[in-house]
Structure 1
Amino acid sequence: MVSSMDGGAWCARDISLRAQKKFLSRVGGTSSARALVLDEHAAKLLDQFLSVLRERVEKREAEKLVKHVIKAAVKLGVLRRHGQLSAADERALAAFRSKFHTVLMAVVSFCEVEFSYDRGFLQDALRESHQSLKSVVERHLSDKSVSRLAGVFGLASRGELLDSLFAGPLDDDVTKLARMLRKELDRGLL
């Protein structure tokens, strides 16, 4: 398989593995590295999300967004596994998961129920998710990581992007992403 570094196909798993190797070489051991490998379901979801984004934003911007999501998740996972998060941080992460779950449920609903799309609701839910996550990230990660996450949520909240996804007929990639999200939500994994 050709990795994304060789100019071949871009893949969430490749980026995840590179981020894990780089970060863990500084803070963790080999058992931590094995525990953080991006699972197959998450990799497929991120790859489908990337396919959806590539149709709507510049390819490089889409890839950068997914890469930043992976890096932040890896870094927070390492901090959590090594007991570096306080009780307040854990509560903030739980609030983030709850708010982001609302975002995912809304996305699925917009795809399953005609004329249910509400841009304002989704933008508010994304903003609240970002604020919950930002409170943890600011205390533990670099300013660069905080800025990257702001960029991720900024792009994801763009009205034009959201309208292109959910206003009007849905394209096959968006429908496939919604089905994948529904499956993971039903399994309790998201």
Structure 2
Amino acid sequence: MELQSWLLYHLVAANDCNQVMQSAATGGGGFPGGSSGSRARDLGLRAQKKILGRVISTGAGRSLLIDDATTSLLDNLYRLAEKAVKKNPGLDKKQPEKVLKNIVKLSIKIGLLQRNQQLGVADEPKIVEIRSSLRAAAMAVVSFYELEFSFDKLYLTRSLERCRTVIQSLIGSHLTDKSQDRCHQVFDFVTHPEFLEAVFGQNSELRPTLGLLVNDINKALDAGHL
């Protein structure tokens, strides 16, 4: 079962990872060494891991890996986060860029795990659960936007925490602690009470930007990517 799209598809879709090999770079977080029993494969995985950093650090590099629909979704997620931190001193202004990069890196790393046949039969139920939890969270965002006064912070937070838990259950045995920390950073930000209030609170100035994100989510849902 393919899982080269989202951690929010959305949240990003990784295209054929062979494209990554066209660039050279250094990066962090990756695969624990020696798990495959093949020195050649281990070296190959390390090489692909090292390429991710610089490629993902630039918009041009990300465009090699992400389709137009996902790019739009990520751009609007970033804009929403950026506007939220500007209006809330309790939010770190560096977090939106970190969220964007970490979503892309995690999605590509999971895609590489699959491409290199590192995911086993025991991982299949986890992949199904990830898709289900992400879809539920996405549908909640759409509902809260489209139905006035329907925002339920506790429900959305629980939905996002479910996403965090199932993603961590998949990557915990395949990726390093640094990659697990990347996952926590993403969900620590999107579940932050001040971020959620800034986005979904009554008379929020961010509603137009949220509308753009919801439009992207609806397209992803309709296309079956979520």
Q: TM-score, normalised by structure 2?
A: 0.68
**Which of 158, 170, 178 is the aligned partner of 1:144?**
178
1:95 aligns with 2:126: no
Corresponding residue to 2:75 among 20, 38, 47: 47
TM superposition shift of 1:97? 1.1
SS of alignment partner, residue 56 of structure 1? helix
Cα drift, residue 50 of structure 1: 0.3
1:165 is aligned, of 199, 222, 225, to 199
| Gap runs ≥5 in structure 1 | 1-11, 29-35
**Which amino acid in the other structure matches residue 37 of structure 1?**
L
Inter-partner Cα distance in structure 1 for 2:171 and 2:164: 10
For 1:70 and 1:77, locate their aligned partners in 2 and report how far apart those are by CA, in whole Å. Answer: 11
The letter for the 2-side match of 1:50 is Y
**Cα deviation, residue 59, structure 1:** 4.3
Question: Matched residues in 2 for 1:60 and 1:164: separation?
Answer: 17
| Structure 1 CA distance for aligned equivalents of residues 83 and 144 of structure 2 | 19
Q: Distance in 2 between matches of 1:84 and 1:134?
A: 16
Per the alignment, in what secondary structure is the counterpart of residue 180 of structure 1?
A: helix
> How many Å separate the matches in 2 of 1:117 and 1:159?
13
Give the partner amino acid of 2:125: R
Q: Give 1:102-141 correspondences, 5 Å limit.
A: 102-141=136-175
Distance 2:48 2:212 in 1: 37
1:152 corresponds to which letter in structure 2?
Answer: V
Q: Provide TM-score, normalisation by structure 1.
A: 0.81
The one-character-per-residue Cα deviations of 1:25-61 (angstroms, maximum 9, x if unpaired) are 7149xxxxxxx82111111100110000000124421
- Paired AA for residue 75 in structure 2: D
Give the CA deviation at 1:179.
Answer: 1.4
- Alpha-carbon deviations, 1:121-156, whole Å to 9, x = none? 011011111110001111111101101111111111
After superposition, the C-alpha distances for 1:54-109 in whole angstroms (9 at most, x for unaligned) are 00124421011110010000000011122110112221121011011100000011
The equivalent position to 1:26 in structure 2, one of 47, 57, 66, is: 47
The match for 2:216 among 161, 165, 180 is: 180
* Counterpart-to-counterpart distance in 2, 1:119 and 1:95: 22
Q: Percent identity?
A: 32
Q: Is the 8 A contact 2:95 2:189 kept in 1?
A: no
**Higher fraction of helix:** 1
Mark the runs of 5 or more structure 2 residues left unpaired by the alignment. Answer: 1-11, 28-44, 50-63, 86-91
Alignment-derived partner of residue 187 in structure 2: 153
Q: Higher relative contact order by CA 8 Å / sep ≥ 6: 1 or 2? A: 2
Report what 1:63 is aligned to.
Answer: 97
